[in-house]
Structure formats: structure tokens, C-alpha cells
Amino acid sequence: MEGSKYDKILELASRKSLFYPSAEIYPNAPAGFWDFGPIGQAIRRKVVDFWSHEFVNKENMLEIHGSQILPQSVFEGSGHLKSFADPIVQCSKCKKFERADKLISEIIGKNVPESSPIDKLDDLIKEKKIKCQKCKGELGNVSKFNMMVESLVGKQGELKTFLRPEACQSIFLNFARMVKTMRLKLPQGIAQVGGAFRNEISPRQSITRSVEFSQMEAEIFFDPKKINELKNWREVKDYKLRILKLQSKNIEEIKAEDLVKQKLVPGRLIAYYLARTQQTWDKMGIPLEKLRFREVDKDERAFYSLATFDFEVLTSLGWLELIANNYRTDYDLKNHMEHSGTDLQYSTEESDKIIPHIWEISAGVDRTMFAILDTSMKEGKEGLYLSLNPKLAPFDCAIFPLVNKDDLPELAEKIKKDLQESWFEVFYDDSGSIGRRYARSDEIGIPFNITVDHDSIKSNTVTIRDRDSTKQIRVNIKELKTILSSLKENKELKDFGKYIN
Ligand code: ATP
């Protein structure tokens, strides 16, 4: 399946409306925008919930929701208007634009940093005789293209505004207010889930590179002098992280404590959040061997970042960046302070006025969703299925009346309502053979199927079938909620009753 897995994901996405091009009924709809249907949106929401639980809740972060359209002055302050530009190249024959760095990387099979000087990219195109991939025409010279998406607000569009290119800008703008009103004490994470917009010149590979996408961001504000003072250090110090060091071809497993000792990271706070990041995506169900932190070289990372580790996952598209982990220092607060004229300094317990430093964990919602689909898609006896973590599945369970008579649908409906009343998300299917219903449910990753049969009427019991093992147990209807809750917490089916086949 491996070779064509990507096509299979797209085929499933289209057939079951997981995701599909926005405004598809119009022939002129631009590429790079995606809608999510009921099942896709349910999985997407659960990805966000999972992250919220692991970061906002367990790390005691402050979560905000900022506006997506911001005034031009914000992006003068952040530096985006000047420097948020990608190298692009145009075919002289068919006039198609391409991202120069991505095109060269794909052709030569080696990562070419987007920050490479333009003349170096021109030289590579000449040296490797790279032509337009669509029509084989000659490529022109590489130039820089600003990716900001402009929007005009006001009666005559007189207010120049932009759609934010990274959700984190709202967090920086909120910092001083959080200090004042939320009794913020460093170190403190401020988090946000929301839209980001980039004029990607060649949107591709479906939801992994689009113009409009969503980010789950955590910005950790801290006093750089106290980067090694961390309450929870013990929890992670022996945890092993999968690191691809600069210039290295092999992933090494390095304890958080050793990352600090070997000066691979600037301090414990950073090793701590790298560990919590790997733990979270591992818990989501992506196999550890498909995860890595790639140390990013100076000429590839953002100019303000003192250290960058891209968190990547091995998918059918190759290694895909899911999260940018950046040491943004005091760059953002300092610049917004200068440009807005507002004091964004923080008074420490020692009464020093400092501009806090920031460690950023900027994760893509859409890429995480894609990686979850890609790594969970398996081939079973009945066909392809998604072996999703029950916490990320579109429904907690499915209910099937075995036949549409003998009071079975009524009992099945009653069980469904009762579960829904207790916040379980339930899928109901009463059409086709039971085998077809299992296959339909497995295909969209529903972890447990409950079948209501004639014995259910006689003995108040139902069967629960596990998607991955296809094993079944018979349980009392009264115990259903407790058992389903435990199964969601990764307890095993065999802990609750005897297998019946
Ligand atoms: P790339 O090098 O792949 O363009 P980037 O380094 O520019 O990504 P960041 O600016 O660091 O990405 O953004 C943080 C995260 O936001 C990325 O790791 C990714 O998950 C997500 N992201 C960025 N650009 C896009 C996009 N065009 N479509 C979907 N997700 C994106």
C-alpha cells in the first residue's frame, strides 16, 4: 500500500468528505483552500482537543482567541512586511510560478534552505539544468515574493489590514494585558488555536500546504536568567528525545538532561517543552519511530531564532514538518514595544524590568490531522481502515441494530440517546449487512461497534466489537458507559468480559 498511500488518503477524504477543495462547485475557485466535512471536522476538532488537554490544561497555559485580521502597523512591528518573503521562480513558457527552494530540493533530493541567497538558487537551477516541471520550459530568475495576504477594511477600503501569517502575533499583542489582568508570573505559556494565512505560491499536497490553515500555538514567556529553573524538570529529565543533529544522518535518542548538558539546547525549559511535545504526538498515536526533532541550521531558521528544532513525522510524502519550535528571544516583544509605543516590559520578583524571552511551539492543525490519517491508515481483512486513537476518532462508538424489526431498532435508539446524554458521540447505522456496517465504521476509524441483537432484548446485553482486533465481548447494557469510558482510556477489551468469537 505504501507507494500509493497518499492517493488512498485523498480518495477516502473525497469519498467520505473528510476534506475537499473549498467552493468546489465554482470552476474558478482558487487552489490552496480546503473545507472539512462532518467526519473530517470531527477528527480535526479532536486533534485540537487533544492538544488543548496536553498543553493548555496540563501545562496551565492561558488560552486566548485573537482576531485574524490585524492592522498594517502590527506587521511593520513584527517585520513581516519587510521580510516574510519566499524565493519564487517563473517558467518563461507556461508562466507558472514555483517556490524556487522547494522545486530545487525536490529535484536534487536535498533540503535547500528558503533563506538561501537568490543568486545561489539561480546558480543551482543552472547547474542542475532544472526546467519547469509542467511544460519543461526555461525558468526565469529567482525573485522574492511577500506572502502576506492583504485585506481592505472600511467603507472605501481605507484601512490597510492583513490576515495574520502566524497565529502567534495575537499572543504577543496580548502579553501586557495578560500580565495586568491574569496575574501572569513567568514562566508562563499563552496558547491559541486559530487561522493563519499565507500567499503560498504553489499550494500543494492537499491540506499540508494551503493558503488558509490553522495553528495550535504555545508561546512560553520566561526570564532568560532563569531558563534552568523549572518546577517540573524531574518529570522529563530522563525522557529520551529523538533528535537529528545538524550534519547527521541518524536519529539519536537523547535524554532531556543530556540535551542540556551537551548544550544542544539553550536550557532546561527548552528541553522540557521539546519532551512534552514528543510525548503529546506520541500519545496521539503516531509511532515514535516516525517522529523526530530536526536541528535546524542558522541559515535555514528564522533570523531572530537562536535555536530551532523542527518536529517532523515520516509520512507517505516523506518527512513532514508538523511543528516549528523556535527560540524567538525578546525579538517580538521588543519590536512591538518599539513600534506601538506601549511598555511591554515585565517586573520580576527582584523588581528588575525585563523583556521576557519566548520559546515557541507552533504546530499545524491540518498537518497534524494529515499525519494522523497517514500513520493510522492500515489494510485489514475487510479493506482499508483507520486505526485511530479512540480520543481522535470521529465517533466514540457506532450502534447497529442487527435487523430492522423485532424491537431491535427501538432498543438501539434508546441506547444511543442514553449514551449521547452522557456526552458520548455515537454513529448510528441500520442499513446493509452487519459486515458492511463494520467495514464502513472501520474505514472512518470508529473504535468500537455496539450491536443490538435478539439476546439484547432477552438479557439486556449487547456486543462490543473492537475495530483493531475485530474481537467481540458481550456486556450488560447498564455497564456500557463505564466500559466505553475505560476503553477510551486505552484499557483492553479483554478486561471487561469474555470474547465471543
Ligand atoms: P514550511 O517550511 O513547510 O513552509 P514553515 O517553516 O514556513 O513551513 P512555520 O512558519 O514555522 O512553517 O509554521 C509553523 C507550522 O505551521 C508548520 O510547522 C506547519 O505545521 C504549519 N504550516 C505552515 N505553513 C503551512 C501551510 N502553508 N499549510 C499548512 N500548514 C502550514
pLDDT tens for residues 177-221?
999 999 999 999 999 999 999 998 888 899 999 999 999 999 999
- pLDDT above 90: percentage of residues in the chain: 88
Q: Rounded to whole angstroms, how far apart are CA atoms 491 and 485?
A: 9
CB-based pocket (< 6 A), ligand 1: 166, 198, 200, 208-210, 213, 215, 321-324, 362, 364, 366-367
Structure confidence at residue 426 (pLDDT): 98
The residue to mutate among 192, 361, 367, 370, having the most atoms of ligand 1 within 8 angstroms of its beta carbon, is 367
Q: What's the mean pLDDT in 465-469? A: 95
Helix (H, G, I), strand (E, B) or coil at 204: strand
465: left (phi over 0), alpha (psi -120 to 50) or beta: beta
pLDDT digits (tens, 9 = 90+) for 381-435: 888 999 999 999 999 999 999 999 999 999 999 999 999 999 999 999 999 999 9
Identify how many contiguous H helices and E strands the chain contains and give both numbers: 16, 26
Q: What's the mean pLDDT in 285-314? A: 95
Count Cβ neighbours within 10 Å for each residue of 374-408 and write b for 16 or more, e otherwise: bbbbeeeeeebbbbbbbbbbbbbbbbbbbeeeeeb
pLDDT higher than 60, residue 116: yes
What is the whole-number distance in angstroms between the Cα of residue 255 and the centre of ligand 1?
Answer: 27
Q: Residue type for 52, please?
A: S
pLDDT digits (tens, 9 = 90+) for 247-285: 999 999 999 999 999 999 999 999 999 999 999 999 999
pLDDT band at 302 (very low <50, low <70, confident <90, very high): confident
Structure confidence at residue 115 (pLDDT): 83
Structure confidence at residue 114 (pLDDT): 83
What is the whole-number distance in angstroms between the Cα of residue 334 and the centre of ligand 1?
Answer: 24
pLDDT band at 370 (very low <50, low <70, confident <90, very high): very high
- Residue 69: count of CB within 10 angstroms of its CB: 14
Q: Rounded to whole angstroms, how far apart are CA atoms 192 and 177?
A: 15
